[in-house]
Structure 1
């Protein structure tokens, strides 16, 4: 009987889990649809590259949707079991409350394991894969679009302004402010320009005509000006900066950076908090699965809609706790560890209290 009961409860959990997981992934995918269409229309990427993008997005989608689907599944299953008095009949047959919860523990443990794998290995692979794919698109379609009448920023610290549409004779004028090196700020003005490209090195440049280079040193009393008839202004290879971004800092590197700033750098604190969340979030998936048991039992009078609404409120509350934790970390009130784990502690306390009440009831 026990094995039959386990299979029955597991089946009751699996159906709403798969349904909600598919629905949630579709909702998130719909949000990204415009970006994917833009990639096809503006970048002209092929079906194979588009498939790689979708495959690379899946781990991030699943890390977000698996905990919610697990909560909805347990709420829906126990809401129905309680509403149809099946749970009462099971307990009247001598099956204890914790024995009924055991299949949920196993089911939630499986979802926890899957979320942990995706969080620790799938999501980092997804981020690197997307950036690598973006790198290949940049290298295949190496261009430097410069919009006229606006300040273009192709690189951080580099500002390019073209006052008028580029004419055939190249006499449209161009203004470049290069602040990438604070100790050597360059202002370049030219009457014309021509785009340059080195496919072998994946590098772009601008050939400037009839202009001047103004160097602004740190000493305000000194000033340097050089005129030229032709000057080639090369940008660093597109792959260099992007490849550097594909590598995530290790835990030891983050600790070292924080030690240098005396743990006052809010950006580094948030990154360290993300490392702790890689473990805390999968654990929240397991807690969500257990929390759905008492919530489903309590919400039997309100039906499936009421149980779903309560589940949404729980998810919103958990999200707000995470936002609060991040704020307290950046405000230097909480450590990154507690900022990531306090929402789980609160959630576990609520789950334990509701489970005890459901057992007594």
Structure 2
């Protein structure tokens, strides 16, 4: 790499670091607001909040890095053109590709970082984030039951305690358990304690009453079309226990948490374990996610080439250069929108998966063709009309 390449590359690298970390911090702030309520309701510390939301940063960087590569390359080369530095470099005999070499090196580095993020860091961080979030919502919440507050453990279990003694005994307990579909249970008890169990924390209740509404089918001699009736079963007990860790939503067989596509490695997406009993709809999503991880880092190189084609193909004059700059931005925004649409289509129909690769590779090839001077295009389209000579009609 020559001294001139290092000069341009240094400007690109510094700008890329500043813009990427700044934009990632902004996205992190907006996304972390969703978890403030979770932390406040569970009484967790600020350190847990930072560590929990910090696990989302690798996925943010994987999405942001191709975009910031385009922004930085376009900004730096437009500034070089506005300062007439590109004119001096061209006068020194540098070709378009020599001028583009620092930006291509930066785009290649960004692409390599995106591959590391997509193939290793993002699945690991997503798995750790969702496992910790699941534990907070379904297990730690049981330990942090607050007096006088209806505490939700998952989406189908609610625990209320009127107050708590100094020794940890809960008084005036209400438990509403809707984990069994169609047969919700409401338990009232005078006292109880939260104790560890084989599957997680559970509350042991004393001197209470268990109420359950059941559907009773019509009698055999009932007229056709008779709707079923409901019946309230009441059971008094001196001691009973309710498992607070087991929730119906988000758990698979044996109470294990079901992992989505973002948490799985590339091999698990392409060759899922038959023991997981993954439905066909999720299998299509897994395949689309695998191709998306392999193809999306190429956007860093393609977006970098689009920026170079915008900045190097022609001169930015005082009038007229803004249109080409606006065109480059519109092209990248359109590519991002098309990428989202293609990803959703590929998750539904595997026949759309090739469009993921077309969307990632085709813009870079077209931009490289523009940087090379559009070879193969008829010269009459490239040649500018000459002004008429003086004295001619």
TM-score, L = length of structure 2: 0.69
From the superposition, tell whether residues 21 and 218 of structure 1 become closer, same or farther in structure 2 (CA, over 3 Å): farther
Q: Partners in 2 of 1:114 and 1:37 — Cα distance?
A: 30
* 1:353–1:226 Cα change, 3 Å: same
Per the alignment, residue 351 of structure 1 pairs with: 367
2:158, 2:12 → 1: CA distance?
57
Structure 1 residues 19 and 195, CA, compared in 2 at 3 Å: closer, same or farther? same
Question: Counterparts of 1:175 and 1:52 in 2: how far apart (Å)?
Answer: 32
| Structure of greater relative contact order (alpha carbons < 8 Å, 6+ residues apart) | 1
Q: Is the CA contact 1:258–1:268 (under 8 Å) kept in the aligned structure 2?
A: no
Contact 2:288 2:353 in 1 (8 A): yes
Aligned to 1:142, the other structure's residue is in SS state: helix
Which residue of the other structure, out of 183, 186, 190, is the alignment partner of 1:186?
Answer: 183
Question: Structure 1 residues 174, 90: closer, same or farther in 2, change over 3 A?
Answer: closer
- The superposition leaves residues 141-185 of structure 1 with CA deviations (integer Å, 9 ceiling, x where unpaired) of 5347699999x97446x46699xx9599977876544435xxxx5
Q: For the residues of structure 2 that align with 1:159 and 1:321, how far apart are their CA atoms?
A: 41
SS of the equivalent of 2:346 reads helix
The reply on whether 1:335 has 2:351 as its aligned counterpart is yes
Partner of residue 292 from structure 1, selected from 288, 307, 311: 307
Higher alpha-carbon deviation: 44-53 or 54-63: 44-53
CA contact under 8 A between 1:71 and 1:311: conserved in structure 2?
no
In structure 2, do the counterparts of structure 1 residues 39 and 161 end up closer, same or farther at CA, with 3 Å as the change threshold?
closer
Aligned residue in 2 for 1:20 = 19
Q: Which runs of 5+ in 2 are unaligned?
A: 165-169, 221-227, 376-381, 384-393
Q: Does 1:233 align with 2:242?
A: yes
Worse-matched range after superposition: 282-291 or 85-94: 85-94
Which of 185, 195, 218 matches 1:198? 195
Aligned to 1:97: 96
* Structure 1 residue 80 displacement after superposition: 1.7
Q: What is the Cα deviation at residue 356 of structure 1?
A: 3.3
* TM-score of the pair, normalised by structure 1: 0.75
Question: Alignment partner of 1:76: what SS?
Answer: helix
- Secondary structure of 1:300's counterpart equals coil
> Shift in Å at residue 93 of structure 1?
2.0
Q: Verify: 1:280 aligned to 2:295, yes or no.
A: yes
Does residue 210 of structure 1 match 2:209? yes
Three-state SS of the structure 2 residue aligned to 1:229 is strand
User: Which is richer in helix?
Assistant: 1
- Which has the larger displacement, 26-35 or 203-212? 203-212
Name which of structure 1's ranges 222-231 and 98-107 shifts more when overlaid on structure 2: 222-231
| Alpha-carbon shift at residue 245 of structure 1 (Å) | 3.7
Matched, 1:86 2:101: no
* Cα displacement string for residues 255-292 of structure 1 (whole angstroms, at most 9, x for unaligned residues): 9699986x6x2x43233212211121111112112221
Distance across 2 between alignment mates of 1:74 and 1:137: 42
